């Protein structure tokens, strides 16, 4: 989208210094738009779908991210568009495979109306095949990136009595084998969001969590080439004792399962956009939204409500 009023600032969402600079940029923009009596939304979706409000994605040749992908290059974009209505404020954050994030802002006279944290990366691999560095890299984006950006913008959000919307995942409520780095980080986002919701109640700020299901087919962010490249790296870097105990046949079976996921999931992300829109615009937003298909919704209810022994027997063992 092109606009004479759109301003873009690139930043690393894992950098305290760059996030601080982004806040300065936003404050300056708010001051400028306040003198012109308002601001307006510029929005289109990282899910490759335009929406009237919030979510602006970038493409670096590596693909866009919704909830399930990997690699850890860190880049972000901050996008602001001022207009003439002046009724709210919004920040939207998102990553691609190379951790690219964009923020679309809507400013008001008293602060920012909403912050949508959608930065995230992922990878796969059983625990003994996954390095501690990988855990740290995933958490630095998914968890600490969300916390870092939220803390930086909370004063502006509180001033507007606005919204914080954090994009978690169905894997922030239930776990799955070979996805521990991603699950750990998204469980953290869920806990952080719950704590923040309790604390922000007295300020009139509402905090919502979006828990998307499987949208691999819609985004194309997981391909057979990516799976094979990651698998080769996992096997080569695994300790010899792990290679010997697990065996290559076991490892290859897991890789084959992951490759079968490459064309799975929903192909239309309209329900994700709809839920994000509701979380930002509704007078009474939900605490949690579950945009997903029937299979994953039912599985989520079973895994989170039935005794673990029963749920595990149905879906894990």
Q: What tokens does 260 get?
A: 């079968």
3-state class of 65 per DSSP?
coil
What residues act catalytically? 182
d(CA 20, CA 13): 10
Bridge-based pairing of strands 6-11 and 75-81 is: antiparallel
CA nearest neighbour of 181 among 229, 128, 235, 125: 125
Residues in the chain, overall count: 317
Residue 7 buriedness (CB in 10 A; 0-12 / 13-18 / 19+): middle
- End-to-end CA distance of the chain, in Å? 48
Residues 63 and 69: beta-carbon distance below 8 Å: yes
């Amino acid at each position: 989208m092109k606009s004479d009023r759109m301003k873009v600032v690139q930043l690393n969402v894992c950098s305290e210094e760059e996030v601080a600079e982004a806040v300065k940029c936003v404050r300056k923009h708010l001051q400028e738009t306040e003198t012109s009596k308002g601001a307006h939304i510029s929005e289109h979706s990282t899910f490759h779908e335009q929406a009237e409000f919030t979510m602006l994605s970038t493409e670096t040749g590596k693909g866009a991210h919704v909830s399930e992908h990997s690699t850890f290059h860190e880049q972000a974009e901050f996008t602001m568009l001022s207009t003439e209505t002046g009724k709210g404020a919004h920040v939207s954050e998102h990553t691609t495979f190379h951790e690219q994030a964009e923020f679309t802002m809507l400013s008001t006279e008293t602060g920012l109306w909403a912050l949508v944290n959608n930065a995230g990366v992922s990878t796969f691999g059983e625990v003994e095949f996954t390095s501690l560095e990988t855990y740290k890299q995933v958490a630095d984006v998914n968890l600490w990136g969300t916390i870092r950006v939220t803390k930086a913008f909370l004063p502006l959000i509180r001033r507007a009595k606005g919204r914080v919307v954090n994009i978690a995942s169905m894997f922030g409520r239930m776990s799955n084998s070979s996805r521990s780095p991603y699950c750990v980080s998204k469980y953290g986002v869920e806990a952080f969001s719950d704590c923040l919701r309790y604390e922000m109640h007295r300020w009139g700020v509402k905090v919502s969590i979006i828990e998307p299901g499987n949208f691999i087919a819609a985004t194309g962010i997981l391909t057979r080439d990516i799976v094979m490249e990651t698998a080769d790296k996992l096997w080569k870097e695994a300790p010899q004792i792990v290679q010997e105990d697990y065996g290559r046949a076991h490892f290859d079976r897991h890789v084959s399962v992951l490759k079968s996921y490459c064309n799975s999931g929903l192909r239309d992300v309209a329900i994700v956009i709809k839920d994000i829109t509701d979380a930002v615009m509704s007078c009474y937003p939900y605490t949690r939204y579950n945009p997903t298909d029937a299979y994953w919704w039912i599985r989520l209810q079973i895994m989170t409500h039935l005794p673990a022994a029963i749920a595990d027997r149905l879906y894990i063992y």
